[in-house]
Amino acid sequence: MIRLASVCAPLTAALVLFATVGCDDGSAGSDPAESLDDLGTSVPDAAFAAPDGALAEPVDATPDAAPPPVPFVEPAPATDLDAADGIVELNLTASAALVSVSDDLRYSGLAYNGQVPGPTLHATVGDTLVVHFTNDLDEPTTVHWHGLRIPDDMDGNPRIQHPVQPGESFTYRFTLPDAGTFWYHPHVRSNEQVEKGLYGAIVVHDPADPRPDAERVLILDDVLVDGRGALYPFLTSHPEQMHGRHGNVLLTNGRAEPEPGEARVGQVERWRVINTANARTMVLSVQRARMRVVGTDGGALTAPYTTDRLLVAVGQRYDLEISYDRAGAAHLVSHVPVVEGDEVVEQAVSVYKVNVRAADATPPELEWPARAPIEREPDVDAELRFAVRNGPRGLEWTINEQAMPMEPLMTFEQGQTVTLTLRNLAGPEHPFHLHGQFFEIVPDGRPETEQPGLKDTVLVPGLSTVTVRAYVDNPGRWMAHCHILEHAELGMMGEFIVNPAE
């Protein structure tokens, strides 16, 4: 298992370093520093985490049916209760659970339908999703559908939806307007509820997409456990309040030591990567396979691109086309900053491995339907300033000089194109998230901004400014907050309004 002996200040410009509490037991079972330059079979399996789950059973094709579904490797899917086309209906229950992330690490946490991550929800763009949600926790909760542009009263925003009380139920019902990779999680005390295990993937299929040989959902996370393997207490340490909760165990699909995937040379897959960590920005690369970025938070790109390193802020998603062009082990590698003595060094840690069998074949390049670029001139400006201060109860994170502002931060008219300036006046970074809308990041050369495509979350590095162009097309009352869940909980969460067009 990857137990990071000392964790892991984000490598921000300010390079604030700290040793995370609770991870001083030096219990790394294998050396995660194992060089990945040599990615052959010599890399010990125990150094890697990969998702569990085998290829889905092939489904018998009925005479004139569509081709069989592309096999999925993923957290187990939800069961669709409604056989009708166009409606995906399921039961979803949040409850306490003993969460088992490896054979020797279990802790008391939370789960949707008894599994962590929760069931993967599959639907096709345009479908109606009906989720009968039951709260079996001993505290209130809601379900937020991160990235979906749905009506605001279905968004799990606790300022609109009265949170679901223990023992109560609520039915979420909405139409899925966009294809892509999304996720769901609570929006009440989310720093605790998400860390404890309440998160899952939503895959909205586009029938126009090419068919890869397989798809994989890869939910990347971390958890912070103490020396006895229990979740470390929440928001008690200054580093956690300052930088968010950085875990000392990396998880892929809820497992620290899951099964490697299987493929063969010549195959092409689609990987849907989601960063559900509370705070950890991930820098990823794919080794010993070819990779193209084909989608992001808001779905398909106007043009796929290749890159050596992918910066994935918490909340963000990337869809990758993975082509197996050689036999051996292909890896998804997380480049993790760790404290070594007085220094922060980067360790390459494989967080997922696919064993690729030899075959005499060349992977084809998939043809993705081109998405037209959006050509809208900005017609309104807004600015949000992020800062930190000491409040009566400790550290407070502020937006425009207020912690947890109750008055709307901004008001727009539906259909406007907003030049939104995000000014970070403090050292720690903020992955900033808007509900219910997409935006594009205005590139300025920094990796945080060289992220083409529609997004709902953008990383704003310390002591710097990032500008986005937001398409505020979905009317309602929406949240705007930092997706470092500790920052949100400590005040960095407010609301904006989009007035409906006449």
- Binding interface with ligand C2O (CB under 6 A): 144, 146, 185, 187, 315, 433, 435, 479, 481, 483
What string of H, E and C letters represents the secondary structure of 410-453? EEEECCEEEEEEEEECCCCCEEEEECCCEEEECCCCCCCCCCCC
* Residue whose C-alpha is closest to residue 487's, from 364, 374, 404, 381: 404
Pick 22 or 299: Cβ nearer ligand C2O = 299
- Which residues partner with 390 through β-bridges? 395
Q: Nearest approach, Cβ of 444 to ligand C2O (angstroms)? A: 25
Pick 216 or 433: Cβ nearer ligand C2O = 433
Residue 482 touches which of Cu ion, ligand C2O, none (Cβ within 5-8 Å per kind): Cu ion
Q: How far apart are CA 308 and CA 296, in angstroms?
A: 16
Q: Nearest approach, Cβ of 249 to Cu ion (angstroms)? A: 22
Q: Nearest approach, Cβ of 277 to ligand C2O (angstroms)? A: 12
Q: Nearest approach, Cβ of 483 to Cu ion (angstroms)? A: 7
Q: Are 19 and 341 in contact (CB under 8 A)?
A: no
Q: How far apart are CA 315 and CA 97, in angstroms?
A: 24
**Residues in the site for Cu ion, rule: CB under 5 A?**
430, 482, 484, 487
User: Which residue's beta carbon is nearest to the bound ligand C2O?
Assistant: 146
Q: Nearest approach, Cβ of 117 to ligand C2O (angstroms)? A: 14
DSSP per-residue codes, 62-83? PTTPPPPPPPEESSPBPPPS--
Q: Nearest approach, Cβ of 493 to ligand C2O (angstroms)? A: 8
Pick 199 or 368: Cβ nearer ligand C2O = 199
335 is written with which tokens? 């480049």
Residue 122 touches which of ligand C2O, Cu ion, none (Cβ within 5-8 Å per kind): none
Q: What is the DSSP letter of 259?
A: P
Pick 190 or 424: Cβ nearer ligand C2O = 190
Pick 186 or 295: Cβ nearer ligand C2O = 186
Pick 337 or 431: Cβ nearer ligand C2O = 431
Residue 196 touches which of ligand C2O, Cu ion, none (Cβ within 5-8 Å per kind): none
Residue 481 touches which of Cu ion, ligand C2O, none (Cβ within 5-8 Å per kind): ligand C2O
Instruction: Write the CB contacts of 403 (distance below 8 Å, at least 6 apart in sequence).
Output: 389, 391, 396, 397, 490, 491, 492
Pick 74 or 222: Cβ nearer Cu ion = 222
Q: Nearest approach, Cβ of 25 to ligand C2O (angstroms)? A: 31
Residue 435 touches which of Cu ion, ligand C2O, none (Cβ within 5-8 Å per kind): ligand C2O
Q: What is the DSSP letter of 217?
A: E
Q: Nearest approach, Cβ of 487 to Cu ion (angstroms)? A: 3
Pick 149 or 483: Cβ nearer ligand C2O = 483
Residue 487 touches which of ligand C2O, Cu ion, none (Cβ within 5-8 Å per kind): Cu ion
Pick 288 or 435: Cβ nearer ligand C2O = 435
Q: Where are the beta strands (DSSP E) in 189-248?
A: 200-205, 214-223
Residue 270 touches which of ligand C2O, Cu ion, none (Cβ within 5-8 Å per kind): none
Q: Taken in order 211, 212, 214, 215, is the CA torsion positive or negative? A: negative
**Strands laid side by side in the 410-413 sheet:** 410-413, 493-499, 476-482, 430-434, 457-460
Pick 102 or 193: Cβ nearer Cu ion = 193
Question: CB atoms < 10 A from the CB of 236, how many?
Answer: 10
Residue 187 touches which of Cu ion, ligand C2O, none (Cβ within 5-8 Å per kind): ligand C2O
Q: How far apart are CA 453 and CA 434, in angstroms?
A: 15
Residue 479 touches which of ligand C2O, Cu ion, none (Cβ within 5-8 Å per kind): ligand C2O
Q: Are 129 and 88 in contact (CB under 8 A)?
A: yes
Q: Nearest approach, Cβ of 23 to ligand C2O (angstroms)? A: 26
Residue 353 touches which of Cu ion, ligand C2O, none (Cβ within 5-8 Å per kind): none
Q: How far apart are CA 468 and CA 176, in angstroms?
A: 24
Identify residue 378 by its one-letter amino acid code.
P
Q: Nearest approach, Cβ of 494 to Cu ion (angstroms)? A: 13
For strands 343-357 and 261-264, give the pairing: parallel
Q: How far apart are CA 118 and CA 449, in angstroms?
A: 31
